[in-house]
Amino acid sequence: MKKARLPLVIVLSFLLSACSSSFVYNNIDWLLYWYLGDYVDLSLDQKAVLDERVVAWQSWHRSTELEKYQAQLKRLRVKFASGALSEEQWLSEFEEAQQHLHRFRSKIAPELAGIAQQLSVAQVEGALSAWSKKRHERQSEFEKRTEAERLIRQEERLTEFVEDNVGELTKLQSSIINTYAPRFLSTNNERTAYHTSLQNVIRDIFANRDTFEFEQQLADLIRHPDQYKTPQYQAILDRNARLYAQMLAELSSTFTQKQKLTLDDKLEEKINLIGDLISD
């Protein structure tokens, strides 16, 4: 699913499809600068400092985290071999996957906050301005679509996610997806408000960058950005995640033997690839 409509599901999707290329994983520093280029221009000294930390973070991730991803995929493979996963089992998978993200945030937060302190006022304001621009562009794109168009996109994304892992769907499975798609609640407005809130918090933190608390406050934001989600936004995310788990539980009970073999092959492929990345 695209554009982070269901964060927990996207993390699970990452487990199933990320690290799909050793080139991508081994060139994460280049990809990072490609992404950052839309938000801030770093000086040579700033890049040198960030380069050093990225190398250290990737080394930690390769030696500590990849084996956790691999272990989860191995357990998931065993569960599938035993039969369809229930709604609660899927939710448990989502939660375990989310913990991978929490550990990564916690690892980089203190050092990233220290690096961020070296950004100039112009760099910070430029980054926030670029973020606002992209947010407005996404909002504008969202508002241009009719409800019917949004539903079609939702159905296409759900179908694509499942087909990527089990192959072509049966008519029954397509019907299941089309039944669930309209039930997911849009998070567009709540997500926009959340990002606005984050920007305001970041601006306030950087306004006091010379205080003792600066790095601690910024690190806390990096570790726990969800604390700035409204109860309404979190409720929608939780509802959508449970609905997604229900849909996957229903779909997995209809997998054909061919689809089960395809999924098993996909999982084995990811498990082996992660093993190769660990040993690189």
Check if the beta carbon of residue 194 is closer than 8 Å to that of residue 233: yes
Query: For position 4, what pLDDT does the model report?
Result: 35
Q: What is the pLDDT of residues 260-271, one digit of tens each?
A: 999 999 899 889
Q: Is a pLDDT exceeding 50 seen at residue 5?
A: no
Query: What average pLDDT does range 132-152 have in this prediction?
Result: 92
pLDDT at 6: 41
Ordered alpha helix ranges (H), 147-229: 147-166, 171-180, 188-206, 214-223
What pLDDT is stored for residue 24 in this prediction? 66
Instruction: Calculate what percentage of the chain has a pLDDT beyond 90.
Output: 69
Cβ–Cβ under 8 Å, residues 142 and 188: yes
| Mean pLDDT in residue range 139-145 | 91
**Cα dist from 18 to 66, 137, 190, 256, 271, whole Å:** 11, 27, 27, 25, 11
Beta carbons within 8 Å of 197's beta carbon, 6+ residues apart: 228
Instruction: Provide the CB-side half-sphere exposure for 32 (13 A, CA).
Output: 14
pLDDT score of 33:
73
- Mean pLDDT of the 124-133 span: 92
Q: What is the mean pLDDT of the chain?
A: 88
The pLDDT tens digits of the residues spanning 164-203 come to 899 999 999 999 999 999 999 999 999 999 999 999 999 9
pLDDT band at 86 (very low <50, low <70, confident <90, very high): very high
pLDDT tens for each residue of 204-250 = 999 998 888 999 999 999 999 999 999 999 999 999 999 999 999 99
pLDDT of residue 11: 41
